[in-house]
Amino acid sequence: MTDTKITLPESEIPRAFYNIAPDLPTPLPPPLHPGTRQPIGPQDLAAIFPQGLIAQEMSQERWVDIPDQVRDIYRLYRPSPVYRARAFEELLDTPAHIYYKSEHVSPVGSHKLNSAIMQAWMNKEEGVKRLATETGAGQWGSALSCACQLIGLECMVYMVRVSYDQKPYRRIMIRSYGAEVVPSPSPLTHQGRAVLARDPDSPGSLGIAISEAVEDAATRDDTNYALGSVLNHVVLHQTIIGQEAKKQMELAGEYPDIVIGCHGGGSNFAGLAFPFLKDKLDGTRPGLRAVAAEPLACPSLTQGRREYDFGDTGGTTPLMMMHTLGHDFMPRPVHAGGLRYHGSSPLVSHLLDAGLVEAEAYPQGEVFATAVKFARCEGTFPAPESAHAIHSAVQHALKARDAGTPTVILFNLSGHGLFDLAAYESYLTGKMDLNA
Ligand SMILES: *Cc1c(COP(=O)(O)O)cnc(C)c1O
C-alpha cells in the first residue's frame, strides 16, 4: 500500500516557475490599452506594477527563476503534501484512485500566499513601500497582508463591503498581520465615492474594489497594486503547485488521467494543471484531461463569451481577451466568494478555446453536499471554492465506477473552510439556496 500522505523535502521546492506561454499552440492575444485599444507595452503597466513582474507577465521564457529569498519563505509551508483520499474512494465505491494536493496547509489557508510572497518580494526589491489590493471573501487580502508583513511592506486592502460586514474573521486576520482594511466602496477613492453617490448602501463587488485599489496605486508614488489571480504572472507563480504534485505522483507510481481545480480567476487551476499540460502539449501525455470547475452562479468559462473585456467594473484596467460574463455582471451571492469574478485568466481561456482544457459548472447545493461528505471522510473542511473541484472529482470517480475503468484523479484542495463555517451552517440548517 502506498502512503496516504506523499511529502517532499524542502530541497524539492521548485527552483523555477513554469511559463506555459511559449508552449501554447497559438500565441496569446495581447492585452489592449483601455483608451486607444492598441496592444499595451511594459510602460503602460509601470504606474502600478514593478518591472520584474511586468517582465514575467510578458515573458516567453519557459522557466522563470525563483529567487532564493522567496524559496526560503516558501519553506514555511512548502512543499505541500499530496494525499490519497482512501476513505473518500471507499465511500464512493469507485475503482478510481483519488489524490489531492493540499494547498490549504499554507499559514493563511490557501494557495494565494504562493503568489503574494513573490509579488511582495519583487515590489520590495524595486523600492516600493506599500501595496494596495482588493479582496472579496478575504483570502487574497489575508495572503497579501501576511506576505507584506513577512517581507516588510505596508499593505492597504479594499474589502468588498458585504464580506467586510458578514465575514469578520478574515478582516481581523488582515489587521492582525498589520495591514489596513476598509470596506469597499469606500469614500477614500474617486471610484468609491462615485458608487456611493449612486447607491449609499452598495454591497460592493470585486470589480468595484479592484477599481479602488488600482486608483490608490496609480495616484501614489510609494504604492503599487497587486492582483491575486487572472494575470499571467500570478498564474506563473502558482505553477509550483503542479511541479511539486508531478514529483509526488511519481513517488506514488501513478500519472493522473484527470487533473481538476476550481476556477475563479484561474490561478489555482492553472497552477496545478499547467505543469501536467506541458506533457500533453509536447505529446508525451496526449490523453491527459484538465478540468476547471466553476459555480453555476458565475459561469464565465461554460457560459461566458471569449472577448476583450475589462478586469474591473469601472473600466479602467487594460482589456484582456478572456471568457467573461461582462465587467458589470453581478453574480448571485453564493458562498464561494473567491469564485464570484466575471472574467477568467486569458491563459486558461485560450487553452479552453484550443480544446486543451475542459470546464464544468455546478450549483452550490450539490457542491456543499460533497464538501460535507469529504470532511466526514478526510477530516479536512474544504473551502467552498475548493469544494467545486472535489465535486467534479466525484463526478469523474462515479463515471469510472459505472464504466468500470480504473482512473487516476488529482484535484487541488486550494484552501480550507475554517473561516466559512457559517456557509456550512446555512447548508446544514436548510437555509442555503441550493440551486444557486
Ligand atoms: C481565491 C480562491 C480561489 C479562486 O481563485 P483562483 O485564482 O481561480 O484560484 C479558489 N480557492 C480558494 C481557496 C481561494 O481562496
Among 231, 265, 297, the domain boundary falls at 231
From 114, 230, 414, the mutation candidate for ligand 1 (largest count of ligand atoms within 8 A of CB) is 414
Domain shared by 158 and 299, yes or no: no
pLDDT at residue number 164: 93
Per-residue pLDDT, averaged over 127-148, amounts to 96
Q: Rounding to the nearest 10 degrees, give the CA dihedral for residues 173, 175, 180, 183.
A: 60
Q: Whose CA is nearest to atom 7 of ligand 1?
A: 267
Kindly state whether residue 252 falls inside one of the protein's structural domains: yes
For the stretch 222-257, pLDDT in tens is 999 999 999 999 999 999 999 999 999 999 999 999
Could you give the CA distance from residue 89 to residue 412 in angstroms, rounded to a whole number?
A: 16
Kindly state whether residue 311 falls inside one of the protein's structural domains: yes
Domain shared by 265 and 413, yes or no: yes
Could you give the CA distance from residue 343 to residue 304 in angstroms, rounded to a whole number?
A: 8
Among 196, 231, 266, the domain boundary falls at 231
Domain shared by 316 and 413, yes or no: yes
Q: What is the 3-state secondary structure (H, E, C) of 241-274?
A: HHHHHHHHHHHHCCCCCEEEEECCCCHHHHHHHH
Query: 312 pLDDT band (50/70/90 cuts)?
Result: confident
Kindly state whether residue 35 falls inside one of the protein's structural domains: no
Kindly state whether residue 57 falls inside one of the protein's structural domains: yes
Domain shared by 180 and 78, yes or no: no
Average pLDDT, the chain: 96
Kindly state whether residue 374 falls inside one of the protein's structural domains: yes
Contacts of 416 (CB under 8 A, 6+ apart): 104, 109, 110, 380, 381, 382, 383
Domain shared by 260 and 392, yes or no: yes
Domain shared by 179 and 152, yes or no: yes
pLDDT at residue number 59: 97
Domain shared by 89 and 211, yes or no: no
Q: Verify whether ligand 1 is closer than 6 Å to residue 241 (CB atom).
A: no
Domain shared by 74 and 165, yes or no: no
Tell me how far the alpha carbon of residue 140 lies from the centroid of ligand 1, in angstroms: 8
pLDDT at residue number 1: 65
Domain shared by 367 and 381, yes or no: yes
Domain shared by 86 and 165, yes or no: no
Q: Whose CA is nearest to atom 14 of ligand 1?
A: 338
Kindly state whether residue 24 falls inside one of the protein's structural domains: no
Counting from 1 in the atom list of ligand 1, the atom nearest the Cα of 267 is: 7
Contacts of 256 (CB under 8 A, 6+ apart): 99, 249, 276, 288, 408, 409, 410
Number of domains in the chain: 2
Q: Verify whether ligand 1 is closer than 6 Å to residue 139 (CB atom).
A: yes
Among 231, 261, 278, the domain boundary falls at 231
Domain shared by 310 and 223, yes or no: no
Q: Verify whether ligand 1 is closer than 6 Å to residue 229 (CB atom).
A: yes
Q: What is the CATH number of the domain that holds 165?
A: 3.40.50.1100
Domain interval for residue 238: 5-12+67-109+233-428
Contacts of 290 (CB under 8 A, 6+ apart): 258, 259, 260, 269, 273, 276, 277, 280, 351, 356, 357, 358
Q: Verify whether ligand 1 is closer than 6 Å to residue 338 (CB atom).
A: yes
Kindly state whether residue 352 falls inside one of the protein's structural domains: yes
Domain shared by 168 and 202, yes or no: yes
107 cis-preceded (ω within 30 degrees of 0): no
Q: What is the 3-state secondary structure (H, E, C) of 123-160?
A: HHHCCCCEEEEEECCCHHHHHHHHHHHHHCCEEEEEEE
For the stretch 89-127, pLDDT in tens is 999 999 999 999 999 999 999 999 999 999 999 999 999
